[in-house]
Amino acid sequence: MDSARSHIPLEPRLHRLQDRAAVGLFAQPQHLEQHGLLEWTEDVCHNGYIVGIATALSTLFSRRQPFLASTAPMPGPHTIGLMSVAAHLAVTPRQYDERIRSLIPLYDELIAEAARALDHAARPVRQVVDLGIGTGALARACLQHAPAARLWGIDADPQMLTMARTRLGRFSRRVTMTSGSFLDHELPACDAMVASYSLHHIRTSRAKLSFYRRCHRALRRGGVLINGDCAPASTPRGFARDLDLWFTHLGRTFGNRARGRRVYESWADEDMYVPLAEEIRLLKRAGFDVDIPWRRSPFAVIVGVRGA
């Protein structure tokens, strides 16, 4: 590897990669070497983890080809730059879950608690909107918890919708799925909106406030917006303490804690974790009453209730 290039800081090199493809993924090792990333990949990215949870899942493959090709255009300012996961991995929902659990601690607990939070609605839950349905884990949990409900789900990746149909099985009769970005698509009127590990792709507080106001308008009176995601403390010390659990978990996945932390830090270009206090502030400004029915640092289930 070129010695001059090897001294270029990692973050600018990642940005240069992302100028070439929406998520900065390349199929051949020579592309990585050209951008000074091959050695970093071998050292840190076991089996190809890189920039962001969604991208990390898509690149869990072989050490010989740690990056998978993507020719997707760069996402615009109002779209979500999600890498197609299922398009590149012939995996079942169960295999996908195993992989995401290697990245995110407390994954199953958060999904279950988000579904139970439907009980916060001050009206019957007949129509649920899933913002980023993914493989359908949260959608299935919601349909089990609210047996009279129907669900409309949207995801930027059509291949993920195929995986969701497989997971949902007999529940698919109560589900309508749409391919696209929830930031761009008209949100249907509903009694509940749910999201798990998807709203952190909204890049700014201003954009998130605007989106929360759209959600508030789409919800019927007494309806709920339920968001399960990373929502750390506001102070630097509290933030660092909250992330300790995640670093430890990633350390088990990647061989040691230092590597786990470096992988987490590489997600900064894709994932934007808003402190819990800021999430509450934004939801209140959008018109919601807010409750936190579950939190295990740094993850939380946040509920916004539209007034009856």
pLDDT > 70 fraction of the chain, expressed in percent and rounded: 70
Q: Average pLDDT in the 88-117 region? A: 85
Per the structure, the complete domain to which residue 74 belongs is given by 3-90
Is the domain of 209 the same as that of 161?
A: yes
Q: What is the pLDDT of residue 145?
A: 98
Is the domain of 73 the same as that of 128?
A: no
CA-CA distance, 270 to 52, in Å (whole number)? 5
Is the domain of 86 the same as that of 132?
A: no
> What tokens were used for 5?
């290039």
Q: What is the pLDDT of residue 53?
A: 53
Beta-bridge partners for 129: 152, 193
pLDDT > 90 fraction of the chain, expressed in percent and rounded: 54
Q: What is the pLDDT of residue 29?
A: 36
Whether residue 205 lies inside any domain: the answer is: yes
Task: Return the higher-pLDDT residue of 23 and 225.
Answer: 225
Residue-wise pLDDT for 117-160, tens only, equals 999 999 999 999 999 999 999 999 999 999 999 999 999 988 88
Is the domain of 167 the same as that of 43?
A: no
> What tokens were used for 113?
């608690």
Mean pLDDT taken over the chain = 77
Q: What is the pLDDT of residue 52?
A: 53
Task: Return the higher-pLDDT residue of 2 and 241.
Answer: 241
Beta-bridge partners for 300: 229, 295
Q: Average pLDDT in the 96-109 region? A: 89
Number of domains composing the chain: 2
Compute the CA torsion angle 6, 9, 11, 15 (nearest 10 deg): -60
Q: What is the pLDDT of residue 230?
A: 94
CATH number, domain with residue 297? 3.40.50.150
Is the domain of 82 the same as that of 139?
A: no
Residue-wise pLDDT for 267-294, tens only, equals 777 788 999 999 999 999 999 999 999 9
Is the domain of 79 the same as that of 112?
A: no
CA-CA distance, 249 to 269, in Å (whole number)? 21
H-only helix segments in the chain: 3-6, 10-20, 29-34, 38-44, 53-58, 93-103, 107-116, 137-145, 158-168, 205-218, 236-254, 257-265, 276-285
